Structure 1
Amino acid sequence: MEQAQIAQSGFSNSRFTGRNFNGRRGGRGGCFGCGGASHHLTHDASNLITANDYTGPDQLFIANGSAHYTCLVGAMARAGHLEQAERVALTMPYKPDAAVWRALLSACAFHGEADKAWSMARRVLELEPLDDSAYVIVANVLSAAGRWDDVAELRKMLRDRRVKKQGGRSWIEVQGKVHVFAAGDWKHERSAEIYRKLEEIMGEIEKLGYVPIWDELLHNVEEEKRKEALWHHSEKLAVAFGMLCGSAPPGKPLRIVKNLRICKDCHEAKYMTRILEREIIVRDVNRYHRFVDGNCTCRDIW
């Protein structure tokens, strides 16, 4: 980035290489900051900048590449520097693609900035009008803010553009057979047992500090049905089934695959690992989440 752009963004000059922001190698062909930055993110993001002369063994992609800037923008935004991050996106030497605006959208959602999330969602949808994830993310932010009229407008936009929202699914393998779950699903032959086990687990984790995250509800759901709507997500059903049928030997982790980004409420149910006394690994569309003793390796930023 040129010095003028550095000054415009408000961030200091330092080396930014293919390593992640805490010196460890990043995964998935890029830097760690987009999905797995730690609690040091604010300090790290404030000192990032691309290095034109770096050619060492730790370089994971071409310096000054557009993916580099996406990581930088994502790190700044996650650290709460939303205005500076947007400024970098607008002044970088590459035309911002949907990935850049999606990183900003996700960060706006993380910080609960409804108006800015709307703005970033529009930028994403200008480039990828059929991106159902952008609709879902901004709908979550708007519903959390109680802006139900805006949520209704968003749903109308979905219908008018004929965007099909991908249904959430979770998979777990037991003795060579893959079992698939959807939210509120009663198709499994052991559904009654699964739901009883899930109710038992959720009741126990409430005692440990789990509090439902109502932001995940896209409808103005009646009070008595709100908890049920969250508790019966596919990830939780898969965990309950895994424990019910002994999908993994004692001491071994439960492994679940999710086709979408894990929702905040299912992530908050990380307390399950304490009462079940075992590790849970969830591979969602973005990254791996390794839940151990009530904590996740992503440190609640994903």
Structure 2
Amino acid sequence: MTVALMLGAIHTLHASGFEDRTLSSSTITVTSRSDSGAGSLRQALLTAQAGDTIRFDPVVFPPSNPMTITILSALPQITQDHLTIDASNAGVILDGFNAPAGTTGLYVTSDNNVIKGLQIVRFKGDGIGLAYGASGNQIGGDWQVGEALRGEGNILTLNGEDGIDISGADSMNNRVTGNLIGLDSNGTLDLRFQVVAPSPAFAQDRLVFAGSQLHGVWRSTDGGMHWQTSNAGLSILNVMALAFSPNFASDRTLFAGTGDGGIFRTTTAGELVPRGSGYPQAAYHGTGSLTRLWD
């Protein structure tokens, strides 16, 4: 059996010719950032038939300022063949932080579908899963085509398991192209944060620290609106725990526990301070081979 695409319709072609079934091709536009209800992505997935295209209203989801759909439960599986989900000219973030454990962002169990232009983040399972013989699907596309941050490519990061998981020996001939997996929108950082620690005096100083898996400690002085790395002297960048001194307001001491048994300490609240010579002094200091202290 082969498949022919003709004039907006999809026909299944057998050796004896076209069968009677013709799948119409419709466009469904997502106009709501809600998890469910009229105009939502969830409703579009429930409504879509084989051959349809789901797009996103760029007024509601502007490419220059991506908007978030907070997913509260697993979205409907993509069981239709030839379904296209196209966010390449919009700014769409599917955020799975509030979904149950193990939830996958989009789960495909059918053939010849296309998923492009989405940001899929913080699901506890995979970003996109293909299984049960899902074949001939395309995940992503040309990252230079479209107005989304990655064009037709998808951005999949901060998910609990794989960015894209293709499982089963009978899931074949799937194409993954143009995506950023485990990276931010400019392709440089894996922003997989493991711990966030607001200052004990957060209401007054607006100071927040975050520990990441690959890029050390990040520091914000405006309540989390803007962030900078704070890693001078931190020789292990897999930061798994952060703890403030009981007297942080006066001693400015913060501890970080890292992978490989590291313990680091800063007495400047993670801030570079000038030496007498004018050169900056490292914020963090370490000694020893297994247990490391910042000073």
Larger RCO (alpha carbons 8 Å, 6+ apart)? 1
Q: Greater helix share, 1 or 2? A: 1
TM-score by length of structure 2 reads 0.29
Q: Greater strand share, 1 or 2? A: 2
TM-score by length of structure 1 reads 0.29
Name which one, 1 or 2, has greater alpha-carbon Rg.
2
